[in-house]
Structure 1
Amino acid sequence: MMMKSFVPLLIAGVSAATLVSPAEAQRRDEHREVFDAMRSGKLLPVREIENRVLPSMHGAQYLGFDFDSGAGIFTLKFLRNGNVIWVEVDGHSGQIIGRSGR
């Protein structure tokens, strides 16, 4: 009798563990879009963009990037002397199009 009530609970627990949050699902979709666009040649690979920007960021710690799929813009994030620096890069051309912070 105890086993019969345990099985549905176990199934419910496993099902809940496999659900992803809407934010995580959106992040996965964005990563897929970026990957597909890079594979098709519409966007430069992230590594190429990083290789263009990182050498100019002397003394800054690279924190990672965000991607705006609608605009095709990568925003690389850095930290230097307690200040956050954002560098916006056109994902199609690799050109730096904006920078904020010091």
Structure 2
Amino acid sequence: MRSLLVGFLAALALGPLAAPASASKARAAFAQDQSRSDQGEARKAMRAGNIKSISEIERLVLPRMRGAEYLGFAYDATARAYRLKFIKDGRVINVDVDGATGKIISRSR
């Protein structure tokens, strides 16, 4: 009985330590699912002829971002826009691009 009580108290004490790790895994899984969804939506719109492919968008935008490391993209199906993410000097830069025209809509600093 005593060992059962000690085990229960140990689990109770260590439980909060495991929670951040599982929450972090859940956030990472959600982000990965969201990324797949973004890519799927972009693919559908591109096949329908509504937007340019991400490779076309990257060819237009990446040369303008000299000195910045390209991190990846997200696609907003509602706005029909891509968000390309870069990092330079420790700061994240978001570049929003019209998916149909390839023109830069906005750029954060």
Q: TM-score, normalised by structure 2?
A: 0.66
Structure of greater Rg: 2
Q: How does 1:62-77 map to 2 (within 5 A)?
A: 62-77=70-85
Please identify which structure carries the higher helix content. Answer: 2
- Which letter does structure 1 place at the counterpart of 2:59? N
CA displacement, residues 13-59 of structure 1 (integer Å, 9 cap, x when unaligned) = xxxxxxxx676555444322211111121110000001100001111
Instruction: Note closer, same or farther for the CA distance 1:29–1:96 as it changes in structure 2 (3 Å cut).
Output: same
Preserved CA contact (<8 Å) 2:81 2:99? yes
- The aligned length equals 81
Give the match's secondary structure for 1:86.
strand
Runs of at least 4 residues of structure 1 off by over 6 A?
A: none
- Which letter does structure 2 place at the counterpart of 1:90? D
Q: State the Cα RMSD in Å.
A: 1.7
| Runs (5+) with no aligned partner, structure 1 | 1-20
Give the match's secondary structure for 1:35.
helix
- Which letter does structure 2 place at the counterpart of 1:74? Y
Q: TM-score, normalised by structure 1?
A: 0.70
| Runs (5+) with no aligned partner, structure 2 | 1-28
Identity of aligned residues (%): 47
1:97 is aligned, of 79, 82, 105, to: 105
